[in-house]
Amino acid sequence: MESLHKKILEEGKALSGNVLKVDSFLNHQVDPDLMFEMGTYFKKYFENHGVTKIFTIESSGIAPSVMTAMQMNIPMVILKKQTSKILSNDFYQTTVHSFTKGHDYELTLAKKYINEADRILIIDDFLANGEAALGAIRLVEDAGAEVAGIGIVIEKSFQPGYKILKDKGYDLYSLARIAKLGDNIIEFAD
């Protein structure tokens, strides 16, 4: 996605060989026009996958997910990173390790928002080691539903997440694939 590549190069900041800061348009301040365009790309790729709902993990995946859901005219569900005090015991939960934050969190889904007939599109902001996506997959599959595909805004191709998910047979579509990060270095994969 050319406009996303351009935005990453203009406003993104490689803080290290593993960290790309994109807070000016994706995960602190949001560029709504860019999010809408992302939704268009995700819709076009996944529109024939029989998707019934879109799932995302709070919070940076919400903007591209809601734009995709609007364009596909289907519901979007936010997977919570901790158990809410207002949720009953009627939920699915799995532990996910965040390499970025350096700790584990509980990913939570209320059972009323999924059923066995659902075909879920998971959308997330970043793919690195695949832990977040695998956690979302576990919740979907624990409910007896099916993962129709996984949409990623920015994939760090030099980390193992893409290969792990592809080797498990998931249909994965990334809008931007980063081949290399370094001190002020951002290189895209072909």
Residue numbering of the annotated binding site for xanthine: 20, 27, 156
Residues annotated in the binding site for 5-phospho-alpha-D-ribose 1-diphosphate, as ranges? 128-132
Counting beta carbons within 10 angstroms of the beta carbon of residue 140, is it exposed (0 to 12), middle (13 to 18) or buried (19 or more)?
Answer: buried
Distance CA 128, CA 120 (A): 21
Q: E strand or H helix at 70, and its extent?
A: helix 62-72
Say if CB 61 and CB 125 are below 8 A apart.
Answer: yes
Phi, psi angle pair for 173, to nearest 5°: -135, 120
Q: Is the dihedral of CA 9, 64, 154, 128 positive or negative?
A: positive
Residues annotated in the binding site, as ranges? 20, 27, 128-132, 156
Phi, psi angle pair for 20, to nearest 5°: -115, 120
